[in-house]
Structure 1
Amino acid sequence: MAYSFHVGSFAGSYSKVLYLFVGLSPAILSITGFMLWWRRKNYGQKRPKDK
């Protein structure tokens, strides 16, 4: 039972797809969080006006 739960084969293909999304979510959230931070950081900079 523990092995089938560990590899995601206890509920068929549904659990494998669920494990895939749960496993990739930290990477996706960190990438999108970095992109939001980078955009906010760049919008805060003002370019000097040419006189």
Structure 2
Amino acid sequence: AMTEEDIETKRAALAKASRKTVYVISGVSGQGVQPLLHELMKLVEKQTAREAA
């Protein structure tokens, strides 16, 4: 298991390297999954609108 500090350090490093938003999720506890799903839904809706135009 990782500490909250370790998680944030790795998240920040990945975000800096990728220049993208990095979502921290846990498959075991489900933590962080809902915010990620909401963002995915926004992307799907945006793409659907583009294809319909």
TM-score relative to the length of structure 2: 0.45
Higher RCO (CA < 8 A, seq sep 6+): 2
Give the number of the structure whose residues are more often helix, by fraction: 1
Pair member with larger Rg: 1
TM-score by length of 1: 0.47
